[in-house]
Amino acid sequence: MGAGAATAGRRPTAVLVAVHPEDGDGSGPGSETSLAELTRLADTDGLTVAEAVVQNRTRPDPATYVGSGKVDELAAVAERAHADVVIADGELSPGQVRNLEERTGVRVVDRTALILDIFAEHARTSEGRVQVELAQIAYQLPRLRGDGRALSRVGGGRMAGGAGMGVRGPGEMKLETQRRRLRQRATRLRGNVRELARRRERNRGRRARNQVPSVAVTGYTNAGKSALLNRLTGADAEVQDVLFATLDPTVRRISTGDLTYTVTDTVGFVRHLPHQLVDAFRSTLEEVSGSDLVLHVVDAAAPDALEQITTVHGVLHEIGAGDVPELLVLNKIDVAPAGWVDALCRACPEAVPVSALTGEGVERLRAELAARLGRR
């Protein structure tokens, strides 16, 4: 990092940079919605966002992402903020990263690197860590540099992927050696992921033979999926007000009268979810495509709730779960404006409004789940 490197006791400081297409929508890169989400992602990764630099243009500059004059402005903002890192609201090419770093004197990362960093920090099980590391390698390989910078962590926590990949540090390994070791590591990890996929397939087959219906809980990150699962099952899975708190699927059984079914909490989705993560987590996401019902949890307090629903539907189609029956749940109605909840209910007339925190609407949800699964 440059002169603005974080000191002990101070969270690293970030400056955001974005290109907002002149014909872009209200939730695309560079929009207020997207930048607000990027700020939350940075906060989750232990960073403090000082300022954002946005340029309206048809498409990103192929060399520097934003235009040359805007790069000068970005450099001045980064210097004034004593920034440790610049984060782009989009995916950058290796050349764009290199050119921006040369012009600003500050480390530059993109939205994908930030999300991968958060996933690495939040993975708790060996299965989650294997899948995250595989995604990191897919992202890092085309971006490796002789100084090892592509392998170091973005935010203020542990080294993401460093220990697992056996990386010694800047300057100690030649570039080709790094590439070879990462490719070898990726081959071993893919073998691990294939075994995980076979194990999950066996478990799904066992539940199907026992005629136990399965429900996959999915939705946008931080929609309250784990809290709702706790309310439905009486369990105490981890609940945090941060993005991507849950990465490792949790399977629980629920009995209602004569009906017993399983409920699986899955990883949350986000706009522009890195394709490296979708590929690496495919065995986990297959829990959704192999389920009898998708319980799609929506943050009813979010002003962009409808756009979040569209994002989740896009990912569900990408992983082959677009045709699985869906039950939409509008969560957090206890903190959402009443008029907004009413508008969401009109837009999604089959949705069930609930509050995982207070329990409001949960009995209706249980009844709807039993009815849907009972007639499957």
| pLDDT tens, position by position, 316-349 | 998 889 999 999 999 999 999 989 999 999 999 9
The reply to whether 356 sits in an annotated binding site is yes
The reply to whether 331 sits in an annotated binding site is yes
Closest CA to 193 of 249, 116, 127, 133: 127
The reply to whether 224 sits in an annotated binding site is yes
Single pTM value for the model: 0.80
Whole-number pLDDT of residue 208 = 67
In the chain, which residues have pLDDT < 70? 1-9, 23-27, 146-173, 204, 207-210, 235-249, 375-376
The reply to whether 332 sits in an annotated binding site is yes
The reply to whether 174 sits in an annotated binding site is no
DSSP of 85-146: EEEESSPPPHHHHHHHHHHHSSEEEEHHHHHHHHHHHH--SHHHHHHHHHHHHHHHGGG--T
Burial of 41 (0-12, 13-18, 19+ CB in 10 A): buried
The reply to whether 267 sits in an annotated binding site is yes
The reply to whether 223 sits in an annotated binding site is yes
The reply to whether 334 sits in an annotated binding site is yes
Q: How far is CA 316 from the centre of its chain?
A: 14
The reply to whether 53 sits in an annotated binding site is no
Whole-number pLDDT of residue 240 = 55
The reply to whether 247 sits in an annotated binding site is yes
Whole-number pLDDT of residue 163 = 35
- What are the distances in angstroms from CA 171 to CA 32, 102, 107, 166, 177? 40, 19, 17, 14, 12
The reply to whether 268 sits in an annotated binding site is yes
The reply to whether 265 sits in an annotated binding site is yes
The reply to whether 196 sits in an annotated binding site is no
The reply to whether 214 sits in an annotated binding site is no
- What are the distances in angstroms from CA 265 to CA 33, 213, 247, 253, 259? 26, 15, 9, 12, 19
The reply to whether 222 sits in an annotated binding site is yes
Whole-number pLDDT of residue 172 = 46
The reply to whether 355 sits in an annotated binding site is yes
The reply to whether 245 sits in an annotated binding site is yes
Residue 252 β-bridge partners: 263
Q: Cα–Cα–Cα angle for 342, 348, 352, nearest 5°?
A: 75
Closest CA to 163 of 136, 197, 190: 136
- What are the distances in angstroms from CA 194 to CA 107, 128, 130? 35, 13, 11
DSSP-derived letter for residue 302 is: -
The reply to whether 152 sits in an annotated binding site is no
The reply to whether 166 sits in an annotated binding site is no
Whole-number pLDDT of residue 167 = 34
- Amino acid, res. 193: V
The reply to whether 244 sits in an annotated binding site is yes
